[in-house]
Structure 1
Amino acid sequence: MYQILLPLHGLFRWLVLIFLIIAVFRAYRGRFKKIPFLSIDHTIRIITVKVVQIQFCIGIVLYTISPLVRYFLHNFNEAVHLREIRFFGMEHITMMSIAVAVITIGSDKVSKATDDQQKYKVMAIWFTVGLLLILTSIPWSFSPLTSRPNFRMF
């Protein structure tokens, strides 16, 4: 299962990023152009949150079966000093959990806002924060800290 979920998690991140970027773009566009909050904006917000939450669920399952995480949890005193193992055992899951919470809370606040401009403003702020948290916590191929391929084959 690990050999299937790991590439799936890596590929699904691109969906997360695409939908988040679209949602953030539409939020800022709607806010600055003062256009009504359209049904497409509502749909994009909902799809974005669902894609983020699905990715998070895949990540949680991966966390429970990952050999790196298993090593981290069983050898904490030693593993916490190893950058790559600490990243996957502690930092990645913590930051992504916070990002998912931020995006989910932001989406809920958008649904409760009554004014269209307020909806765009709330979505722009919360989704931008979530996107930044995600961007800083992905193990990019170019990262000097913890590098992983941008695309994994199944």
Structure 2
Amino acid sequence: MGTYPVVLFLHSWVRWAVVLLGVLALVRALGGWRGGREWTRGDRRLQVFCVSAFDTQMLLGMVLYSGVSPFTPFSLEGGLRESLSHPTLRFFGLEHPALMLLALVATHVGSAVSQRAEVSVSRHRAWALGLLVAMCLVACAIPWAGLSHGRPLFRGL
């Protein structure tokens, strides 16, 4: 078994950690913001796990994009204009990585701003807003089954 199937399998499954931790952290942050709850050690732990899942997913994606995936040579080889005219190559060669990079940035910015905030409500608000942006981008960038460029929701080796 080559590198591509293993990295693709991991990338496919780590996405669920990103989605689940992102949604859980978003719900908790919105509740803390709205309810005026104190920022707790549990909030920080969940934040670290969520950001770490995003980082791990991006690392796996970068390994795929840097040449392990068969899509990358095709999307780069034929020139940008030709790649952009093919929906699947455009999605995996440009849209997916760009949107996920923006989601990662939003997650890190939300985390950093929340850590600098002095008041718990401000921490929850900054984290919630960063996650809200990130999760919307993630929802747009996942190759959902049923789309022309869709992939299975649960991939096996």
Q: 2:115 aligns with which of 111, 114, 117?
A: 111
1:80-139 per-position Cα deviation (integer Å, ceiling 9, x unaligned)? 200001100111001101110110111011111110000011011111100100011000
- CA drift at 1:41: 0.4
2:58 aligned partner = 56
Amino acid at match of 2:43: D
Unaligned runs of 5+ in 2: none
1:87 aligned partner = 91
Amino acid at match of 1:71: F
1:121 aligned partner = 125
Q: Does 1:31 align with 2:23?
A: no
CA–CA distance in 1 between the matches of 2:149 and 2:70? Answer: 16
CA–CA distance in 1 between the matches of 2:70 and 2:57? Answer: 19
CA–CA distance in 2 between the matches of 1:25 and 1:91? Answer: 27
Q: Indicate the percent of aligned positions where both proteins have the same amino acid.
A: 28
2:23 aligned partner = 21
Unaligned runs of 5+ in 1: none
Question: Which stretch of structure 1 is more off in the superposition, 70-79 or 22-31?
Answer: 70-79
- CA drift at 1:34: 1.2
1:67 aligned partner = 70
CA–CA distance in 1 between the matches of 2:40 and 2:61? Answer: 32
CA–CA distance in 2 between the matches of 1:71 and 1:13? Answer: 24
- CA drift at 1:17: 0.4
Q: Does 1:9 align with 2:15?
A: no
| Count of aligned pairs between the two proteins | 153
Amino acid at match of 2:156: M
- CA drift at 1:142: 2.7
1:12-35 per-position Cα deviation (integer Å, ceiling 9, x unaligned)? 100000100011000011111111
CA–CA distance in 2 between the matches of 1:30 and 1:140? Answer: 31
TM normalised by structure 1 equals 0.96
Please tell me the root mean square deviation across aligned C-alpha atoms, in Å: 0.9
CA–CA distance in 2 between the matches of 1:102 and 1:59? Answer: 17
1:30-66 per-position Cα deviation (integer Å, ceiling 9, x unaligned)? 1111111111001101110011001100000011121
- CA drift at 1:79: 2.0
- CA drift at 1:75: 0.6
Amino acid at match of 1:67: P
